[in-house]
Amino acid sequence: DARVTQTPRHKVTEMGQEVTMRCQPILGHNTVFWYRQTMMQGLELLAYFRNRAPLDDSGMPKDRFSAEMPDATLATLKIQPSEPRDSAVYFCASGLVRSPLSYEQYFGPGTRLTVT
Amino acid sequence: GDSVTQMEGPVTLSEEAFLTINCTYTATGYPSLFWYVQYPGEGLQLLLKATKADDKGSNKGFEATYRKETTSFHLEKGSVQVSDSAVYFCALSDRGRDDKIIFGKGTRLHILP
């Protein structure tokens, strides 16, 4: 049963520290997405990749967030420096574009980040 | 731009009640429509989908019909269970434009035993 995996599942850090979240997409998927979920804002798209190339990161605060795909099996989201307002659950999702009519995303379990 | 509007929650029902969660969309193209479900402490899971007008998606007793004339994709279930308590997201994908999926804000559903 193929799944998206994310590490760590929980992270507590102090303001100003660097945070790195990792995602392993489903093998063979060619799109990867990073989302942030909070009670106030709901689900927000931060960035996404197709075939490892970044296509859209307009949802990310550029001064502190960065997203990369060093290879097809790993996507990373970094926050440096972290701030209390970054506290949220961060989801990674992957998908395979087979055709315009056959496309869906599979979500990982999320990383719950708390910045104190 | 494309958008999804779904009814605000929380929705509280008794077990075995009939469920409807309304969803309408705005899209410039011809989107595919989805319902995702999020159980506590988990990521979103695809519940059902429909890719063209009048298609009915169904799964686990849930159904939704793609209504192009009313731009709607309402989620229904005839008899809910306590285990259906979760947050439900309506979503669309206009694959002809890009790979993004546009999500609604989610509707929290509580089922009382």
Which of A73, A89, A84 minimizes the C-alpha distance to A38? A89
Peptide bond into A70 cis (omega under 30): no
Q: What is the pLDDT of residue A99?
A: 62
Tell how many helices (H) and how many strands (E) occur in chain B: 0, 12
B13-70 residue pLDDT tens: 999 999 999 999 999 888 999 999 999 989 999 999 998 899 999 999 999 999 999 9
Quote the tokens at residue B67: 């209504």
For B103, nearest residue in chain A (alpha carbons): A43
Q: What is the pLDDT of residue B44?
A: 94
A7-56 residue pLDDT tens: 999 999 999 999 999 999 999 998 999 999 998 888 999 999 989 999 88
**A104 in contact with chain B, both atoms CB, cutoff 8 A:** yes
Return the residue in B44, B89, B94 with the most chain A beta carbons within 10 A, the one to mutate for interface testing: B44
Q: What is the pLDDT of residue A102?
A: 60
Task: Kindly tell me if the per-residue pLDDT of B97 is higher than 70.
Answer: no
Distance from chain centroid for Cα A15? 20
Task: Look up residue A56 and give its amino acid.
Answer: D
Q: What is the DSSP letter of B66?
A: -
**B50 in contact with chain A, both atoms CB, cutoff 8 A:** no
Distances (CA, A) of A89 to A12, B20, B68: 12, 28, 34
What is the count of residue pairs from A and B with beta carbons less than 8 Å apart?
57
